[in-house]
Amino acid sequence: MRLYVGNLPFKATEGDIQDFFASAGVAVDGVSVVRDKFSGEARGFAFVEITDNAAGEAAIRACNGRDLMGRALVINEARPITPNGGGERRGPGGGDRRGSGGGFRERRPRY
């Protein structure tokens, strides 16, 4: 099971997260902190791999909302990666906050 760990302190390392789950009695197989591809700084969230689904559910119940370095973590099951590269997104014309509709418009050819 893959878990999403959000609201991470930016200075938290993979080892800090692994120790956090170990203190809750959860064995973690792998941790990957997501970093900015240009600066290399942490982006404030990570993914944790746990082989047993029951242990993953127990980790969510035990660790969600607990404090790590002064921040309450948000932990839930990670969404699967979609072909468009992320979570669920709206397609063309999905709209934005201003209500303008956004998206792609078909253009007439210039002659």
pLDDT, tens digit, 9 for 90 and up, residues 66-105: 999 999 999 999 998 778 765 555 555 555 555 555 566 7
Dist. CA 14–CA 54, nearest whole Å: 22
- The whole-number pLDDT of residue 67 equals 95
- The whole-number pLDDT of residue 55 equals 92
pLDDT above 60 (res 13): yes
- The whole-number pLDDT of residue 76 equals 95
| Boundaries of every domain in the chain | 2-77
- The whole-number pLDDT of residue 84 equals 72
Q: Which CATH number fits domain 2-77: 3.40.50.10860, 3.30.70.330, 3.30.479.30, 2.130.10.10?
A: 3.30.70.330
Q: What share of the chain in percent tops pLDDT 70?
A: 82
Task: Give the neighbor-by-neighbor strand order of the sheet with 2-6.
Answer: 30-35, 42-49, 2-6, 74-77
Amino acid, single-letter form, for residue 61: R
Per-residue CA distances from 58 to 5, 50, 76, 81, 82 (Å): 14, 11, 11, 23, 26
Confidence band, pLDDT 50/70/90 cuts, at residue 111: confident
- The whole-number pLDDT of residue 33 equals 95
